[in-house]
Amino acid sequence: MQTTEISSASLRSAAQPQPPSTLARHETIAGWLFATPALIGLLTFTALPIIASLILVFLHYDLLTPPKWAGIGNITRLGSDTRMFTIYWNTLRLVIGATLLNNVLGLLLAVGVNRSMPSVLRYFLRTSIFFPVLTTTASLAVVWRFLLTQDRGVVNYLLGQIGLGPVPWLSSSNWALISAIIYDVWKSCGYLMVIYLAGLQGIPNSYYEAAQIDGANRLQLFRHITLPLISPTAFFAIVISLIGAFQIFDNVWVLTEGGPGDASRVIAMYIYEKAFKGFEMGYASAVSLTLFAILIALTLGQFYGARRWVHYE
C-alpha cells in the first residue's frame, strides 16, 4: 500500500510542469548548442583572422622567415603609397557605379516581375534574372571575357553590324573598369531583385486601391507608396551591396587582371598581391585595416543617415 502511494506521488510530481527557471535554463542550453557550429565558424574564419591582421600590422612577415617587429612602419608607409591611392580611386568608382546600378536596376526589375502576368511567364522571368547569381563568378567572367574581346568578341561583332567601331573593352584604361561594372551589374542585380521583390510583396494592396480611388496615377503610386514602404528593404540592399562592391575581387581578376596597368585594379586585388605575391603580410594587413575602417565608417554613416529617409510602419 505504501509503495502504491509513493508511485502515485512520483507520477503526480513528474506530470507537474517544470519551474520557469528550469525551463528557461534548458532552452538557453539548447540555444547555445544549436548556435555552437556557427559560433565556431565565426571565431575560426572571422574573429581570429581579424586579430591576426591587427597583430601583423606591427610585424615584417614574408611567410618564409620568422616575423620581425616593425613598429608603426607599415602604418607610416601607407601615407607614401601613391599606388594605393590610385587603386582606391578605382575602387571608389567601381563601388559607386555597381551599387547605384545594381540597386536601381534591381528595384525596376522587381517592380516589373511583380506585376500581374501569367504564372509561367512570371516564374520564367524571375528564374532567368536570378540565374547568374547561382553560377560561379569565375566561370561567368571567362565567358564575358570572350564576349568582350576586341577582335573576336560577340559584343563588338554586334556593334559592327550597326555601324559602330570595335570597343577595346578589356585593353583600354578608359573601358576596363566600365567592363567590370557592367559584368558585376549583370551578375548581381538578380540578387537585389529578389530582396526588393520581397519588400514589394509586403505592401498591402489596400494602400494602392485607396490611392487609385483618390485619382493617383502609377508614378504617384510609386513615389508616395512604394518608395516609402520599401525604404527599409532599400536600406538593407544598399548596405550589403556597398560592402560587397568594396570586396570585389574575382570578376575583375578574371576579366582584366587589374590592367591595363592599374586602370581596373581594386583594393582587394592589391591586398592579395601584396600578401601572396610580394609576401608583405604586414603591409597587406595595414592596407586591409584601411579597408576595414572605411567600411565601418560608411556603414555607421548609412545607419545615421537612414533616420531621415527610412520609414518603418
For position 116, what pLDDT does the model report?
Answer: 81
Mean pLDDT over 61-78 rounds to 87
Mean pLDDT over 122-145 rounds to 85
For position 214, what pLDDT does the model report?
Answer: 83
Q: Is the pLDDT of residue 6 over 80?
A: no
Mean pLDDT over 140-169 rounds to 85
Which domains, from first to last, does the chain contain?
15-69 (no CATH), 78-309 (1.10.3720.10)
Q: Is the pLDDT of residue 19 over 70?
A: no
Strands 68-69 and 59-60: antiparallel
Please give the single-letter amino acid code of residue 271. Answer: I
Q: Is the pLDDT of residue 269 over 50?
A: yes
* Long-range interactions of 227-230: CB distance < 8 A, separation 24+: 228/311, 229/199, 229/202, 229/203, 229/311, 229/313, 230/107, 230/196, 230/199, 230/200, 230/203
Round to whole Å and give the CA distance between 112 and 102.
15
For position 65, what pLDDT does the model report?
Answer: 85
Lowest mean pLDDT segment, chosen from 19-23, 167-171, 289-293:
19-23
For position 159, what pLDDT does the model report?
Answer: 87
For position 148, what pLDDT does the model report?
Answer: 87
pLDDT averaged over every residue in the chain? 86
- 246 pLDDT band (50/70/90 cuts)? very high
User: CA nearest 184: which of 112, 63, 283, 268?
Assistant: 268
Mean pLDDT over 115-135 rounds to 87
E strand map for 37-130: 59-60, 68-69
For position 103, what pLDDT does the model report?
Answer: 94
For position 204, what pLDDT does the model report?
Answer: 87
For position 96, what pLDDT does the model report?
Answer: 94
Round to whole Å and give the CA distance between 223 and 195.
19
Mean pLDDT over 156-182 rounds to 87
**119 Cβ partners below 8 Å, 6+ apart?**
none
Mean pLDDT over 274-297 rounds to 91
Q: Is the pLDDT of residue 282 over 70?
A: yes
For position 143, what pLDDT does the model report?
Answer: 85
Please give the single-letter amino acid code of residue 132. Answer: P
Mean pLDDT over 42-63 rounds to 88
Q: Is the pLDDT of residue 55 over 60?
A: yes
- 99 pLDDT band (50/70/90 cuts)? very high
- 63 pLDDT band (50/70/90 cuts)? confident
For position 2, what pLDDT does the model report?
Answer: 45
Q: Is the pLDDT of residue 228 over 70?
A: yes
Round to whole Å and give the CA distance between 140 and 180.
12
Lowest mean pLDDT segment, chosen from 5-14, 95-104, 190-199:
5-14
Round to whole Å and give the CA distance between 130 and 139.
16
Q: Is the pLDDT of residue 3 over 80?
A: no
